[in-house]
Structure 1
């Protein structure tokens, strides 16, 4: 769905929400109806959630508007995240839900701004956003990490991503997942997660290991070695338990460990 279509969808659903719940009219007016595009809507919502005495909404919202305005690809990436949630999460019945309520989506949108600031060498401000993101959403993503789009970060509480981690497009991640290092190593020391991967709740992936395309990591697993594409791993430490039953585990969101037979 094109970003313009997503924006129209948000406005239609916003009208329905106000009709059904007039008490939410102020929120919808501020975040959606007074905005001319999705970038402005994201800026308003993030500024509302992240404003502190240190940086007020009056300071944050223009910052977000500038970053999203100068880098429209960030808005497109956020739109893809939003639609990934809508398409994969059976509890989500409108793309408007993530914008208003889903801290995983809002944390990723905050990360996208922080990452752009990091690339522009505005590192103190990027780290500030990381700090308030962690405080507001219980999600800690280093602004130097590289994350694609079409990401479903479900529930999101206690999701941690280290500085040199890489997450490709179209990945689904449950709460309490850690993409961490193994100690005091420097350089590339955090995991690489390829496209189509499903990371189950509580999975800990440590070191510069690679989770191959279309792989599945079972809930509560500790991964210390590379995971081949289209395999399922589970356990502490994680071991291969079979071939992933789905071609695209991220899209199917099936956290069971049932596997298909190897060919």
Structure 2
């Protein structure tokens, strides 16, 4: 190196640091950022990441106040795992839990476990498809605390399985503090999960949540007391759990079931049935229809279809 020349600063991934964002890019036509992904994609992660970057460029051009934020969180990163790791690390860091440590932790887990990256993409697709308030993939990535809480939990779950339990519990605590979502690191959570609004969601240690499940705010999957062992609910694929519902104990909620808002569930709920009330009772069951090819409630987000079969429903 010539005398007097300073070494070039580099980012953690080895790329050069840019002291200033690049010049603004031209506005993108709406068709560049489609509403939904193609029905069959050879590489969902690459496709979703392309959409996120396109949305971020469009938004940075339209709203200069967000340009630095969007550059730092999305446009300066070469991949979805790096962007997500950076964003989560900055959301969850504290004076004693440094963002650099968290960034390395999240990125190492996402890099080492392809199934985590697949779940991230499935969760993004789920939020975009099911939530009419979700205006884009970048909106979910940057602003949906339910999505961010689930991704942080996935990393905490890896740490728990690796017997790094103090760190897993510390991460759980930070997620609860920052996002108001409390998921024990040992809980098993599937993919294509939507925590809609997410505030107040509690999922206990031995709970299991299947794929394509949608859970609204203030839902508790808890135990019934001081008993130890397998003591939390098991939620089947495609289940929809309404706001404020409480499910307690080692009970099974069958695939495609629907739990009404504010319900308290203490016993098993059969597949493709609806439970409402406190204590919950089954209503509007579709006997004999369980094998029909219908949308699962967790995907359709249909909270009220059972009412047409509720003959004594009055206001």
Give the alignment's TM-score, normalised by structure 1: 0.96
Matches of 1:261 and 1:242, distance apart in 2: 5
**Which residue is 1:127 aligned to?**
169
Count how many residue pairs are aligned between Structure 1 and Structure 2: 262
Bigger strand fraction: 1
Structure 2 unpaired stretches of 5+: 1-40, 311-315
Please say which structure displays the higher CA radius of gyration: 2
Question: Partner residue of 1:35?
Answer: 77
Equivalent in 254, 257, 274 of residue 212 of structure 1? 254
1:149-183 per-residue CA deviation (whole Å, 9 max, x = no partner) reads: 10010000000000000000000000000000000
Which of 142, 152, 169 in structure 2 is aligned with 1:110?
152
Instruction: Please name the residue that 1:6 is paired with.
Output: 48
Tell me by how many angstroms 1:260 deviates. Answer: 6.4
Corresponding residue number in structure 1 for 2:103: 61
Does the CA-based 8 Å contact 1:117-1:125 persist in structure 2? Answer: yes
Measure, in 2, the Cα distance between the counterparts of 1:250 and 1:63.
31
Q: Distance in 2 between matches of 1:45 and 1:24?
A: 15
* Alpha-carbon distance between aligned partners in 1 of 2:108 and 2:281, rounded to the nearest angstrom: 46
Matched residue of 1:258: which SS? helix
1:243 counterpart = 2:291: no
- Map 1:44-193 onto structure 2 (within 5 A): 44-193=86-235
Aligned to 1:153, the other structure's residue is in SS state: strand
Distance 1:122 1:109 in 2: 17
Unaligned stretches of 5+ residues in structure 1: none
Counterpart contact for 1:230–1:247, Cα < 8 Å: no
Q: Is the 8 A contact 1:209 1:224 kept in 2?
A: yes
Q: Corresponding residue for 1:225?
A: 267
Deviations 1:231-254 (A, max 9, x none): 011000000011269641111112
- Residue number in structure 1 paired with 2:37: none
Change (3 A) 1:172 1:254: same
Report Cα offsets for 1:186-238 as digits up to 9, x if no partner. Answer: 11100000001000000000000111010000000000000000001100000
User: 1:89 & 1:173 partners in 2: Cα distance?
Assistant: 12
CA 220–261 in structure 1, closer or farther in 2 if over 3 Å, else same: closer
Q: What SS does the aligned partner of 2:285 have?
A: strand
* SS at 1:243 equivalent: coil
Structure ranking higher on relative contact order (CA contacts 8 Å, 6+ apart): 1
Structure 1 runs, 4 residues or longer, greater than 3 Å off: 244-247, 259-262
The SS at the match of 2:182 is: strand
Deviates more, 1:28-37 or 1:83-92: 28-37
Is the 1:104–1:156 Cα contact (8 Å) retained in structure 2? yes
